[in-house]
Amino acid sequence: MIDNKIRIQGDAVVDIQRGAIGHRATWTGLTYTKAREAGKAAEAEKIIREAIVETGKIQGAQIKTQCREPENVACFTETFLTPNVEKTFEIEFTNKTADRVDLEFHHCPLLKAWQDLGFDDATCEKLCDMAMDGDRSIAKAVGFEFYLGDTIAKGGKTCQMSYFKKGK
């Protein structure tokens, strides 16, 4: 059972950002589910994943140019995960060094949009994994490794992610 709680409420910027992220998730979710209804789930998943990977590459390249210390994982995450993003996803950093950052997301606005559309847990989990291709590609574009542990979409309490230098 997916439990995607919201603790931070009533913050105008966060609410706007969650709305925009939810709108993007709605497009992706409906594209996938409509293709699935038409018997084209595999083709749609491939295309959506390719688009998300490409988006991650573009975003990762932008982050790398904006980061004052692009070899520093903590600096990368500070550039990527701005204070508003931290509040939007209710992020908790469990480790933050120049070599590795471990964090937990306590809320996901993408998942909320899919839940609001009435998608079952398996569909939410599939869409979540597709969306995570963006984070995987961002890390790769910057030159870091990425690890995804448990996720809210899989029924976890949080989404557990790590960005780290190779071998760390």
What is the domain extent for residue 67? 12-164
Give how many domains the chain has, as a whole number.
1
What pLDDT is recorded for position 53? Answer: 98
What angle do the packed helices 41-66 and 73-80 form, to 10 degrees? 110
**Is 1 inside any structural domain?**
no
**Is 111 inside any structural domain?**
yes
pLDDT digits (tens, 9 = 90+) for 109-149: 999 999 999 999 999 999 999 999 999 999 999 999 999 99
Q: What CATH number is associated with residue 61?
A: 3.30.1380
SS3 content of the chain, % helix, strand, coil (to 5): 60, 15, 25
**Is 128 inside any structural domain?**
yes
How would you list the strands of the sheet with 100-105, edge to edge? 91-96, 100-105, 159-164, 145-148
Count H helices, E strands: the chain? 6, 4
**Is 95 inside any structural domain?**
yes
Q: How many CB atoms lie within 10 A of CB 166?
A: 8
Which of 127, 148, 128, 125 lies closest to 136 in space, CA to CA?
Answer: 148
Q: Quick one: CA dihedral 73, 147, 132, 16, positive or negative?
A: negative
**Is 33 inside any structural domain?**
yes
**Is 105 inside any structural domain?**
yes
What pLDDT is recorded for position 167? Answer: 75
**Is 6 inside any structural domain?**
no
**Is 51 inside any structural domain?**
yes
Which of 69, 10, 53, 16 lies closest to 139 in space, CA to CA?
Answer: 53
pLDDT averaged over 10-residue windows placed end to end, the chain, 168 residues: 91 96 97 98 98 98 94 96 97 97 98 97 97 97 97 97 90
